[in-house]
């Protein structure tokens, strides 16, 4: 039977519940347990797909095409289990499901209420995420509740997990609460009162935490540990100090050395082998042993909030580890770049990367960055939108198609080299631009898809004959322009197996040392152990003059 660990947060948000949950999962997995993680998000949006990256950070995409919270990226980078649509759900999904049942008459005319109908639905979703009753059922499901204890939005989730703790057999669940212990510089003291208050609030709801993870700038001293234990009714060995780590991959070792995994195994009645964290220790050692530095210019639209590119940042770090290098990412706002200042802003970098994004803002700056990378022969990687602007730049400045653009940015462009599939041709062969569908959450190509890779290309040297990656985009390279682009020297090195849509474009080595654009999002499949072949090759190209 699946056992559960419920992780909540208090005092303030952004304490790192995702990393803490993933780290605990990693330790339990190292003890031979089959583990998964589930994220409960209290917002009413169905998913984060239409939310601003400035507000919510990146949207992480799973193999089955779900647009999910960025914490699922942490989960996949810390454990071997792959996340699915069922590993993340929102208040919006819960209410939508309950209302659909009500419309069908499933409640037999009863008054539908938060308790028991909403809370029961939450519990059913949690069990579904844990694979209960299926071949995928796990030993332990770590369930992270978004938000902060005390927020009205998260109350139904907290009530649901409280009830689940009562319904399950003994030794079936544990509660872990992440809290904040601030340092007051004027008083030169760590203050435990916020932690006391957040646990008091949690206990008012009916949940007594079995362990407290106390976030602080440095290790919480023994005296404060004892005080927190006394005023929160948590055993002293359950008060775990979580200080700022130089590398997030140090956190599993940090939690293990303070006995968190042993406490959880004891609480859940799990008799398993000791933890083996050697691969984490090796990873941290490799990170600290790196002596070379690679400077990457990331030309993006959301650079003021680094979480907008969380998986991408981590993928670059992983590739740096594989190449024995530290990766220094220099964020460049694409709105600041013009054709007359691109060299000034981008020179001195070892490589240029243009990530994904949506909307017209900053597009001309991205195109200028691509042109600089192509003409200066600086290694270039374009991801999703980064591939599309590379195609537009090539069409304009190499093929000579004046005004070439994406129909997303200019519905009147004379050369829509990027467009929606139904915009390519009418029955008579003429180009006809149409507007995108209004349901923004349902018009994308999402999830894992496979493509054939052309032999003798840079892409083939990286992927081999087949590439399977995750997608999240709405517009495609227009097949009506591919012949002209290829005739001018652009290499289409991968096409989807079914629709024959462009997946990878590149320049031949005779023209550019390393220039590639991909329609998919490879960053979602990068791991700290192996990196990702595309990013590994990209960082190696950036280091080519650092031998």
Residues 317-365 have pLDDT tens digits of 999 999 999 999 999 999 999 989 999 999 999 999 999 888 888 899 9
User: What is the C-alpha separation between 159 and 152, in angstroms, rounded?
Assistant: 11
Is 523 known to be catalytic? yes
Say if residue 382's pLDDT is above 50. yes
Q: What pTM did the predictor assign? A: 0.91
Q: Are 142 and 35 in contact (CB under 8 A)?
A: yes
Query: Is the fold of 3-283 the same as that of 291-542?
Result: yes
Residues 279-304 have pLDDT tens digits of 999 999 998 888 899 999 999 988 87
Is 330 known to be catalytic? no
Catalytic entry in 318, 471, 521, 532:
521
User: What is the C-alpha separation between 505 and 3, in angstroms, rounded?
Assistant: 47
Say if residue 184's pLDDT is above 80. yes
Say if residue 443's pLDDT is above 90. no
Q: Which CATH class is domain 3-283?
A: alpha beta
Is 265 known to be catalytic? no
The H or E element spanning position 382 is strand 380-383
| Mean pLDDT across the chain | 92
Q: What is the DSSP string of 97-154?
A: HHHHHHHHTTTTTPPP-IIIIIHHHHHHHHHHHTTTTSTT--SEEEEEEPS-TT-STT
Q: CA torsion 251→253→258→262, rounded to 10°?
A: 110
Residues 501-522 have pLDDT tens digits of 999 999 999 999 999 999 999 9
pLDDT of residue 427: 43
Q: Tell me which of 13 and 313 has the higher pLDDT.
A: 313
User: What is the C-alpha separation between 340 and 235, in angstroms, rounded?
Assistant: 64
DSSP assignment letter at 58: P
User: What is the C-alpha separation between 184 and 181, in angstroms, rounded?
Assistant: 10
pLDDT of residue 404: 95
Architecture of domain 291-542: 3-Layer(aba) Sandwich (3.40)
CB neighbour list of residue 491: distance below 8 Å, 6 or more residues apart: 454, 457, 505, 506, 507, 508
Catalytic entry in 318, 476, 523, 532:
523
Looking only at the bridges linking them, the beta strands covering 325-333 and 292-300 are: parallel
User: What is the C-alpha separation between 202 and 149, in angstroms, rounded?
Assistant: 7
Looking only at the bridges linking them, the beta strands covering 60-61 and 183-184 are: unpaired
Q: Where are the domains of the chain?
A: 3-283, 291-542
Mean pLDDT, rounded, for 18-22: 95
3-state secondary structure (DSSP) of residue 463: helix
Catalytic entry in 173, 214, 265, 384:
384
Q: Residue for token digits 């029955």?
A: 427
Residues 479-498 have pLDDT tens digits of 999 999 999 999 999 999 88
Looking only at the bridges linking them, the beta strands covering 380-383 and 351-354 are: parallel
**Phi, psi angles (nearest 5°) of residue 470:** -95, 145
pLDDT of residue 482: 94
User: What is the C-alpha separation between 267 and 146, in angstroms, rounded?
Assistant: 23
Q: Find how far residue 512's CA is from the centre of its chain.
A: 31
């Amino acid at each position: 039977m699946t056992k559960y660990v419920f992780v909540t947060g208090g005092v303030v948000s952004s304490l790192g519940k995702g990393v803490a949950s993933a780290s605990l999962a990693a330790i339990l997995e190292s003890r031979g347990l089959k583990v998964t993680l589930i994220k409960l998000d209290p917002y009413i949006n169905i998913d984060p797909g239409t939310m601003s990256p400035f507000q919510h950070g990146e949207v992480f995409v799973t193999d089955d095409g779900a647009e999910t919270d960025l914490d699922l990226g942490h989960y996949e980078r810390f454990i071997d289990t792959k996340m699915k649509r069922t590993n993340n759900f929102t208040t919006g999904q819960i209410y939508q499901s309950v209302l659909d049942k009500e419309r069908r008459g499933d409640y037999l005319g009863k008054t539908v209420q938060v308790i028991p109908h909403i809370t029961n639905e939450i519990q059913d979703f949690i069990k579904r995420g844990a694979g209960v009753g299926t071949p995928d059922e796990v030993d332990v499901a770590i369930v992270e509740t978004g938000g902060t204890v005390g927020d009205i939005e998260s109350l139904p989730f907290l009530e649901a997990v409280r009830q689940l703790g009562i319904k399950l057999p003994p030794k079936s669940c544990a509660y872990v609460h992440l809290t904040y212990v601030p340092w007051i510089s004027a008083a030169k003291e760590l203050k435990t009162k916020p932690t006391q208050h957040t646990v008091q609030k949690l206990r008012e709801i009916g949940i007594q935490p079995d362990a407290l993870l106390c976030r602080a700038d440095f290790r919480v001293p023994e005296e404060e540990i004892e005080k927190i234990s006394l005023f929160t009714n948590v055993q002293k060995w359950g008060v775990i100090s979580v200080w700022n780590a130089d590398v997030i991959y140090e956190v599993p070792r940090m939690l293990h050395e303070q006995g968190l995994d042993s406490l959880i195994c004891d609480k859940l009645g799990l008799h398993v082998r000791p933890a083996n964290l050697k691969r984490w220790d090796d990873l941290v050692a490799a990170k600290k042993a790196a002596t070379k530095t690679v400077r990457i210019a990331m030309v993006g639209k959301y650079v003021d909030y680094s979480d907008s590119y969380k998986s991408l940042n981590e993928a670059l770090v992983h590739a740096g580890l594989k190449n024995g290098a530290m990766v220094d990412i220099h964020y460049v706002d694409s709105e600041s770049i013009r054709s007359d200042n691109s060299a000034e802003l981008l020179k001195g970098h070892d490589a240029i990367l243009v990530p994904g994004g949506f909307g017209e803002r900053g597009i001309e700056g991205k195109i200028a960055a691509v042109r600089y990378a192509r003409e200066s022969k600086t290694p270039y990687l374009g991801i999703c939108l980064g591939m599309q602007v590379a195609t537009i730049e090539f069409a304009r400045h190499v093929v000579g198609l004046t005004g070439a653009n994406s129909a997303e940015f200019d519905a009147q462009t004379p050369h829509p080299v990027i467009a929606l599939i139904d915009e390519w041709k009418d029955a008579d062969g003429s180009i006809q631009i149409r507007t995108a569908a209004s349901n923004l959450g349902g018009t994308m190509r999402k999830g894992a898809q496979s493509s054939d890779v052309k032999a003798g290309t840079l892409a083939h040297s990286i992927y081999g004959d087949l590439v399977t990656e995750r997608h999240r985009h709405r517009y495609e390279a227009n097949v009506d322009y591919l012949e002209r682009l290829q005739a001018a020297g652009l290499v289409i090195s991968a096409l989807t197996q079914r629709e024959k849509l462009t997946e990878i474009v590149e320049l031949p080595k005779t023209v550019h040392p390393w220039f590639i654009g991909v329609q998919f999002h490879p960053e979602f499949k990068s791991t700290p152990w192996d990196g990702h072949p595309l990013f590994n090759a990209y960082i190696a190209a950036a280091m080519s003059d650092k031998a």
